Amino acid sequence: MPRLRLAVLASGRGSNLASLLAASREGRMDADVVLVLSDKPDAPALALAHEAGVETVAVPAAGLAREEHEARLSRAIAAARVDLVALAGYMRILGRAFLDAHRGRLVNIHPSLLPAFPGLDAQKRAHARGVRIAGCTTHFVTEDVDAGPILAQAALAVDPRWSAEELRARILTLEHELYPYSIQLLASNAARLEGGRVLVDQAAALLRGSAP
Ligand code: GRF
């Protein structure tokens, strides 16, 4: 089966990008990161991609209308003959034209068990509510923020003594497993979008951790 050509959009640190690069290199994912794009020219994620020998494109949003900004991203994605676009800490809401251009080929990772805690600071809000089960979700991206069809989820049992920071770190470690796993579901054709849901041919939940 041909390997999936992946573009990653990241605005910041890039730890999820690093996990995708490692999974690809180590043969855990039949996909290659062929392009990394950012709206922040100084994003650590871009430096990381550069070091890994991956093509990088920075498109700062300042002074550009959203349509023009996203059209530039789409042009770079088209030129790299990308099969799937993965958001990994990309901090801008995407507009209709971009979503239409990449519909069904655009995924995101979110640090909560959706539909709980969509939006910013999900881990902090989950901690403040005292949740006993936390986790992360990969999903297709649609107009509704963090509400597209769910691809896979990973959960962990929460020790109520953990600080918000500890919970955030534990979820992030889980994200680093879930994202390559989710992309492998697509690369191996084990998952597909149908009627607004993702159908999977195999168990698509990762369960980790143990209660205190
Ligand atoms: C992750 O927690 C991801 O779920 C969220 O943004 C964060 C990005 O972290 N969407 P990193 O840049 O991948 O380290």
Main-chain phi, psi angles of 134, to 5 degrees: -130, 180
Tokens for 32, please give them.
């290659």
Q: What is the distance in A from the centroid of ligand 1 to the CA of 14?
A: 7
Catalytic position from the list 110, 127, 139, 176: 110
Q: What is the distance in A from the centroid of ligand 1 to the CA of 165?
A: 14
Q: What is the distance in A from the centroid of ligand 1 to the CA of 111?
A: 8
pLDDT of residue 130: 98
pLDDT in tens, 69-112: 999 999 999 999 999 999 999 999 999 999 999 999 999 999 99
Best residue for ligand 1 mutational test, from 37, 172, 174 (most atoms within 8 Å of Cβ) = 172
Q: 110 catalytic, yes or no?
A: yes
Give per-residue burial for 95-118: e unless 16+ CB within 10 Å, then b.
Answer: eeebeebbeebbbbbbbbbbeebe
Q: pLDDT-based confidence at 1, cuts 50/70/90?
A: confident
Judge if the beta carbon of residue 10 lies within 6 A of ligand 1. Answer: yes
Average pLDDT estimate for 5-13:
98
The Cβ-side half-sphere exposure at 146, using a 13 Å CA radius, reads 21
- Give the DSSP H/E element, type plus range, for residue 75: helix 66-79
Average pLDDT estimate for 112-131:
98
Which residue CA neighbors atom 2 of ligand 1 most closely?
A: 111
Judge if the beta carbon of residue 168 lies within 6 A of ligand 1. Answer: no
pLDDT in tens, 123-171: 999 999 999 999 999 999 999 999 999 999 999 999 999 999 999 999 9
Judge if the beta carbon of residue 14 lies within 6 A of ligand 1. Answer: yes
Judge if the beta carbon of residue 39 lies within 6 A of ligand 1. Answer: no
Pick the atom of ligand 1 nearest to 88's CA.
Answer: 13
CA angle 141, 29, 186 (to 5 degrees): 40
Average pLDDT estimate for 52-65:
97
pLDDT of residue 206: 56
